[in-house]
Amino acid sequence: MLKYFLFTAFLFCGFQAAAQDFPRRMQDAAYIATLKAVLDYKLEDEQILEDLAQLRTNEKFNAAVEKKIQKLTNKRQKNSKNKRVYQILVNAGKNIYNELN
């Protein structure tokens, strides 16, 4: 847990220092990296820890999530659903990034 906290703190410091320094083409990546760092940190939140443990062992839930993930692609040529999901992630990361500044 400490390594996640330190990693998250490092990312936040790095992003704050480079808030206006990263090129426009890297903004999406910065927002998604911020989102991932916050998610990794919040997965250890006491409020949801017990529920997450139950979900991780729930085969029906895991199968449903895996089925949903298979609809996505990480290739450059993306379908419209993948583009919408990508934009949702970027917007969420941007909101969190701006909230934490």
**What are the tens digits of pLDDT across the range 39-84?**
999 999 999 999 999 999 999 999 999 999 998 888 877 788 888 9
Residue the block writes with tokens 């991780």 = 56
C-alpha triplet 81, 22, 29: angle, nearest 5° = 25
pLDDT at residue 101, rounded to an integer: 86
Over the chain, what is the mean pLDDT? 84
Q: Is the pLDDT of residue 16 over 80?
A: no
pLDDT at residue 17, rounded to an integer: 53
pLDDT at residue 75, rounded to an integer: 83
Task: Confirm if 85 and 72 have CB atoms less than 8 A apart.
Answer: yes
